[in-house]
Structure 1
Amino acid sequence: MRRTLRWLQLGGRQREFALTVALGCSTAALYSAYQRKPLYADAGNATGSWNGKSAIVSSDDPSRASGKEGQRTTTAALKDRLVKGPLDPEPPPPPTKGHSVFDAEGDSPSDPLQAWQYATERVAAASGNFTNFDTTSLREKIKGLLVPKWIRQLPDWMNKLQNELSMAPWSLSWEIWEEAHDPEVNPEIIWDARVRVGQDLCQEEQAFLKKRQRSTARALAKYIGVPESEVHPEDVPTIGICGSGGGLRALVAGSSSYQAAAEDGLFDCVTYTAGVSGSCWLQTLYYSSIGRQNFLRIINHLKDRTQVHIAYPPALLGALSQAPTNKYLLSGFVEKLRGVPDADFGLVDIYGLALAARLLVPRGGLRVSAYDLKVSNQGFYTDRGTQPLPIYTAVRHEIPDAVGDVERLAKEARFTTKHYDYFQWFEWTPYEFYSEELDAGIPTWAVGRKWQNGDCIWRDNGLALPELKIPLMMGIWGSAFCATLSHYYKEIRPILKSSGMSGLDTLIAGKNEDLSKVHPIDPAVIPNYVLGMRDRLPKTAPESLHSASHLQLMDAGMANNLPIYPLLRPGRDVDVIIAFDASADVKGDNWIRVVDGYARQRNIKGWPMGAGWPPQSNTQHQTVLELEDAQENAPARVKRKLTPSERERQDPPDLGYCTVWAGSKEERQEYMDEPVPRQIESPDDDWHLTSPNAGIAVIYYPFMANKKVPGVDPMESDFLSTWNFVYTPDQIDKCVALARANYEEGREQTKRTIRAVWERKRALRLQREEEAHEFAKSWRVKRGTAHLRRNGDVGQGDQFT
């Protein structure tokens, strides 16, 4: 172990030198062993004449070493030979049974000095081979075995990327920045923009709703199986589908759920789609040249592209250093770095770049389209009302300064200013970037510019910056790792409890308020478009917005992993919300229940208060009984019936694959009481949906295990983790099959719910028309009676009679 630690403590060059020396020594030893000639000592002839010569070949024959005289004779003869030189050559000694050390090479020296010289030359030759050994090639071979090829290519990639981003003439960055000033490439750079303040929808979205209403009327008739003549556009329910966050799991499962809804005819009846995190990526692919408004194409695309991690260097660096993907991916980053130099370039931006390189590049990487890089371009698919309007979401974490003395604040500030941290919601559509809390928005094509006093700041050349590109926003939409320390602690808290560190858990839990205000990783930023608009914003706007030059935006899943809030915005008048929840813990997080607080704060009428997973209230007594019932030595307890009091203490059943709640528009007198949700469990409960006072219908599909798809459980299958970015085609098929199976479980209930809402709206329209007809009839009658009274008063008719 100590040797291992010492080895790890060595530097990179030291380890490389040690490996080279070790392998060199072993190579030399093998070489010398291979080149050494055999030593034969089995000759039986007389050795008297050989003792006076140089001992090139030795023998263990004792006759050669007998007597001091022989030794002196041998020594004297050797000295005499070395001094006089080879003047009188003598015949060689007899061979040792036909073998000689020189026979192998066919070279027999004529005398011992030549033999010594020959042996010396052989040693020098062997030494020269070792000295001239190519250590560089050996080092390269070692690197090839131990170091991956992509690491050896990393310097070349980085040098190439650095050269392309050097802004040198005709470099890639220079070309991108030149096109950023070209109105033919980016026409929005010459368009003027102002901040729109108001609670109503923008004009483009209002026009979309009228066109979408006519399109969904035909689709609804086909979906519920009635003639088109019976479906009036005003009767069509406004349906919003929302997909949860959850990384690639939400992307794959959402693609399957949306595809099942499309095959059923439901997706054509939808007016809005809203997404968080992975569902935002899904909407991006749907309105791109890759998806082409086909979810099957998206699923096949994911099979091709998700087998490699988004951060795998060879794939990522290859896309960034090769045409045409390098310009396609880096354009938004060059524009941001050059156009907004004071904006931070951080981990979220790199994350968005990696996501785009994996998800927005088709197989082969050649058929990329720059048209896919702008959210505003998605209006091409929605302007005619043929597709739903996508809504992308992000949040800003407002952390106000600590207030020392509330009494010193102005009275109006005590109640209009929030003194606790909270999340502000921001939304993108192809038409507008808007915040409902600020009642202010800007055109989507103007996101990325600098603003002051409600007007955009033009650059020195009289142009504006191009629209912020989608790769940057993909990082914002999915930046769940920008969570606070409190969120991170929730992930490891079960480990601390199970390991017996309850004291540490109590200590950290006591600091939760402080932990919830610290972000280890900074969120991404965009220019603050409400800077200098203090007098035009609501009084509840936080003070920090009036001085911050940029908005820090992050994953909306920090506040709610289901994007329901944008669907409750006034003016959209959503009647049915279909929530596909692929969160990590659908039951524990209970995001549907979180909406209750938002509905109370915004005074939203019609939301089904109390909807969500039922609370778990197991008592200790009941838990003990359940454990005893499970014991094999107590079979009698299994047949024991619970008493009425125990039955009341039982938890309500968990939600199924599809759950429907019906809201109500009736005013409740007491808001402190916990509302009882109206859950639609059978056709007999549909009257809650058809009632004139019925509110919003919520259809909830949690992504959970299904017996029809064995071996796949979102709570246990490792590949369905939020932090997994590698999916095999087989794993995608399993995830797709599970989402489809869950949709099939609630298919008929969903259709029945939408039909009931249509019948309610139809009945209300007919009632309004009848009331209008009666009012017009009574008005005509009143006008006719008044005319007769006027003529009667005159007595002779009018002046023309």
Structure 2
Amino acid sequence: MRFPTSTTLIVTALVSRGFATYAPISTPCPSTSLVRTATGLSDEEEAYRTARKAKADVALVDWLLKTNCGFDTSGELPAVALTSSGGGFRALLAGAGVIRAFDGRDSNVSTSGLYQGLTYHSALSGGSWLLSSIIANDFATISSLMEIWKPNFANGLFSPEGSNATAVFADIDTDIALKQAAGFKGTVADAWSRLLSLQLLPGANYGAGNTLSAITSLSSFVDNEMPYPIITAMNVDLSGTSCIPPSNGSIWEFTPYEFGTWDPEVAAFTPTAYLGTSLSNGIPVSSNCTTNYDNLGFVLGTSSTLLNDPTIGTAGSPDLLLANLCTSTATSNSTSSVDELTLEFKEDIFALLVEIPDVTFTSAADLFATWPNPFYNLSSSPLVSAQENLAMVDGGESGQVNPIFPFLQPARNVSVIIVNDNDGDTAAIYPDGAELYYTYLAASAAGLSRMPFVPSPDVLVAKNMSDSPVFFGCGDVSTATVVWIPNAPLTPAGGVIETAQMQINETQTESMVANGVAVGSQNDSAEWATCLGCAIMEGSGKRLPEDCAACFGKYCFKQ
């Protein structure tokens, strides 16, 4: 399906009247600059962080004293962040259970109330599906979201709305055609994103009207009730020969206010609301800018786009063979994203292309989520200044399957990072700490000294510390404290599915979330809640309960 360029004017008019569209919209450029150097937080994030931290401190005091009255909660408290890992629907559902275990609105276990004490929440890939669903539904509880998820997940990603799938595919094709009519090429990442939106996001036209920047207008954000959300992805320079980001690749952040990276070879951010705008050396190339490109479905789809696999073409017909587009994947640590794509999953993707003919493969760029580069021709961002478009992929493809890097930035002043790991490293599809180790290596190479020492997975296994929570950074006030909470089989169902499983029945959804609740609360353990409080307060310099000594002996990693 093709539309004339004038159709973009019609779309703009319809949007002004409340019509939900996936297509980018042309709008007059703002008078303010669209690029800033990453010398600190934006004014908007700093204002939100400050207001959110004040509310989080009140909730954290309540939770700590409920947990153990021996905590000294006077004065300034640590800023606490949560990361939700990648791992497909396994990560979404297991991570949802952990959040439910922390959410005082939604559970009554030992850890209930801690979620209200968080200042930040980051996510990537399957974790970004979870975080996006929460924030788009105005900071909804997991129990309310499950009523949305269960029927959608039971149909499966590639059978949207069951018997109505043909009509859904036709609507998605129209969405992508409208995006192309606005002057932007549609790729398989767009189709992938629209299907995920249908499963996760609210609103008409399968959630097409959700944008990341519009989160700032929701009441829970306006009232500073939600932890500040950050979704990460990675970029591949297509002038090279590899389609996989290197292990030291830049971590790119999507937030309600800004997009960019702290990588010193880029060190720049741009307003999220104006993503899609053509810029050169930080200046719009015309008087009109682009809005609506920051579609939230496209953001969460970007964070989980992992089709950049040179063997993927073996699953399709000869005219769709892609192996010649990329010649190397050897630079990545990743063992949990591209490597876990099954033949069945690949065949489903090629079947999707038949259903959505406005997506075609003509170049390597079509394997990626395409974002016009706001730092094009920007001399202060040499890493990407020659790239007219950023080719974005799954945020965990460097092996860093938990988005910890955003909280190692001194400007955010995060003292405690709770890392919920739902990766599938082992044969039983549970994490073994590999991604945490890769993050430690990458942080050390990048000079991010807030990351504490983390050993290789074999060391954790040898110490019998690979399948239960571990505290890293104990006793070292120069680093953040990292609380690693890995997925583990704490209920009979075990809380595990393959990364590539795209259809989950209602019983599985419920059992996965239930296991996540057990993981987050360690089976409603009062001892665990006290120990988690000890980890949060350990670096604060305040008086700790006597119980903390035993907690540190049990959970702290010691070299």
CA RMSD, Structure 1 to Structure 2 (Å): 3.8
Q: Is 1:317 aligned to residue 166 of structure 2?
A: yes
Q: Is 1:712 aligned to residue 547 of structure 2?
A: no
Cα gap change, 1:385 to 1:755, in 2 (>3 Å): farther
CA distance in 2 between counterparts of 1:198 and 1:334 reads: 36
Question: 1:296 matched to which residue of 2?
Answer: 143
CA contact (8 A) 2:237 2:387 kept: no
Tell me the secondary structure at the aligned position of residue 176 of structure 1.
Answer: helix
Cα gap change, 1:750 to 1:578, in 2 (>3 Å): farther
Cα gap change, 1:168 to 1:420, in 2 (>3 Å): closer
Q: 1:216 aligns with which of 38, 41, 56?
A: 56
Q: Is 1:478 aligned to residue 318 of structure 2?
A: no
Question: 2:377 matched to which residue of 1?
Answer: 532
Q: 1:702 aligns with which of 480, 483, 486?
A: 486
Q: CA deviation at 1:448?
A: 1.1
Stretches of structure 1 lacking an aligned partner (at least 5 in a row):
1-161, 403-418, 490-509, 618-650, 664-687, 715-719, 765-801
CA contact (8 A) 1:237 1:575 kept: yes
CA distance in 2 between counterparts of 1:395 and 1:420 reads: 10
Cα gap change, 1:558 to 1:702, in 2 (>3 Å): same
Matches within 5 A, 1:282-431: 282-289=130-137, 292-312=139-159, 314-319=163-168, 326=171, 333=176, 336-341=179-184, 344-360=185-201, 373-380=210-217, 381-398=220-237, 422-431=248-257
CA distance in 1 between counterparts of 2:413 and 2:465 reads: 30
CA contact (8 A) 1:433 1:442 kept: yes
Q: 1:724 aligns with which of 496, 501, 507?
A: 501
CA contact (8 A) 1:280 1:477 kept: yes
Cα gap change, 1:511 to 1:550, in 2 (>3 Å): closer
Question: 1:444 matched to which residue of 2?
Answer: 272
CA distance in 2 between counterparts of 1:662 and 1:421 reads: 23
CA distance in 1 between counterparts of 2:458 and 2:529 reads: 21
Tell me the secondary structure at the aligned position of residue 423 of structure 1.
Answer: coil
Cα gap change, 1:421 to 1:219, in 2 (>3 Å): closer
Q: Deviations over 1:388-413 (max 9, x none)?
A: 001011101246759xxxxxxxxxxx
Cα gap change, 1:546 to 1:744, in 2 (>3 Å): closer
Cα gap change, 1:270 to 1:332, in 2 (>3 Å): farther
Q: CA deviation at 1:267?
A: 0.2
Q: Is 1:761 aligned to residue 535 of structure 2?
A: no
Q: Deviations over 1:223-255 (max 9, x none)?
A: 01179x9745x6221111011111111111111
Cα gap change, 1:464 to 1:662, in 2 (>3 Å): closer
Q: Deviations over 1:749-782 (max 9, x none)?
A: 3543434543642549xxxxxxxxxxxxxxxxxx
CA distance in 2 between counterparts of 1:488 and 1:553 reads: 20
Cα gap change, 1:515 to 1:592, in 2 (>3 Å): closer
Question: 1:279 matched to which residue of 2?
Answer: 127
Question: 1:733 matched to which residue of 2?
Answer: 510
Q: TM-score, normalised by structure 1?
A: 0.53
Q: 1:656 aligns with which of 464, 467, 470?
A: 467
Q: TM-score, normalised by structure 2?
A: 0.75
Q: Is 1:237 aligned to residue 72 of structure 2?
A: no
CA distance in 1 between counterparts of 2:246 and 2:435 reads: 21
Q: CA deviation at 1:563?
A: 0.6
CA contact (8 A) 2:72 2:542 kept: no
- 1:318 maps to amino acid: A
CA distance in 2 between counterparts of 1:269 and 1:558 reads: 30
CA contact (8 A) 2:238 2:365 kept: no
Tell me the secondary structure at the aligned position of residue 558 of structure 1.
Answer: coil
Q: Is 1:603 aligned to residue 451 of structure 2?
A: no
CA contact (8 A) 1:458 1:464 kept: no
- 2:132 maps to amino acid: T
Q: CA deviation at 1:424?
A: 2.0
CA distance in 1 between counterparts of 2:5 and 2:478 reads: 65
Larger radius of gyration, structure 1 or 2?
1
- 2:166 maps to amino acid: L
- 2:489 maps to amino acid: A
Cα gap change, 1:320 to 1:424, in 2 (>3 Å): same
Tell me the secondary structure at the aligned position of residue 571 of structure 1.
Answer: helix
CA distance in 2 between counterparts of 1:223 and 1:375 reads: 30
CA contact (8 A) 1:449 1:527 kept: yes
Q: Deviations over 1:403-456 (max 9, x none)?
A: xxxxxxxxxxxxxxxx98852221011111011111101011011111111012
Cα gap change, 1:463 to 1:732, in 2 (>3 Å): closer
Q: CA deviation at 1:744?
A: 2.3
CA contact (8 A) 2:85 2:91 kept: yes
Matches within 5 A, 1:574-593: 574-585=414-425, 586-587=430-431, 590-593=434-437
Cα gap change, 1:528 to 1:471, in 2 (>3 Å): same
Matches within 5 A, 1:562-711: 562-585=402-425, 586-587=430-431, 590-611=434-455, 613-615=457-459, 651-663=462-474, 688=475, 693=477, 695-706=479-490, 709-711=491-493
Tell me the secondary structure at the aligned position of residue 561 of structure 1.
Answer: coil
Q: Indicate the structure with greater helix content.
A: 1
Over the matched positions of the two proteins, sequence identity in percent amounts to: 18
CA distance in 2 between counterparts of 1:335 and 1:318 reads: 17
Tell me the secondary structure at the aligned position of residue 481 of structure 2.
Answer: strand
Q: CA deviation at 1:700?
A: 1.2
CA distance in 2 between counterparts of 1:608 and 1:595 reads: 10
Cα gap change, 1:463 to 1:596, in 2 (>3 Å): closer
Cα gap change, 1:395 to 1:384, in 2 (>3 Å): same
Cα gap change, 1:188 to 1:209, in 2 (>3 Å): farther
Cα gap change, 1:253 to 1:198, in 2 (>3 Å): same
> How many residues matched?
473
Tell me the secondary structure at the aligned position of residue 448 of structure 1.
Answer: coil
CA distance in 2 between counterparts of 1:463 and 1:548 reads: 19
Cα gap change, 1:184 to 1:451, in 2 (>3 Å): farther
CA contact (8 A) 1:183 1:190 kept: no
Cα gap change, 1:331 to 1:589, in 2 (>3 Å): farther
CA distance in 1 between counterparts of 2:330 and 2:289 reads: 45
Cα gap change, 1:695 to 1:546, in 2 (>3 Å): closer
Tell me the secondary structure at the aligned position of residue 501 of structure 2.
Answer: coil
Q: CA deviation at 1:303?
A: 0.9
CA distance in 2 between counterparts of 1:208 and 1:230 reads: 26
Question: 1:261 matched to which residue of 2?
Answer: 102
CA contact (8 A) 1:215 1:385 kept: yes
Question: 2:259 matched to which residue of 1?
Answer: 433
Tell me the secondary structure at the aligned position of residue 396 of structure 2.
Answer: helix
Matches within 5 A, 1:43-62: none
CA distance in 2 between counterparts of 1:736 and 1:355 reads: 19
Q: 1:752 aligns with which of 525, 531, 537?
A: 531
Question: 2:11 matched to which residue of 1?
Answer: 176
Cα gap change, 1:235 to 1:339, in 2 (>3 Å): same
Q: Deviations over 1:89-121 (max 9, x none)?
A: xxxxxxxxxxxxxxxxxxxxxxxxxxxxxxxxx
CA contact (8 A) 1:398 1:422 kept: no
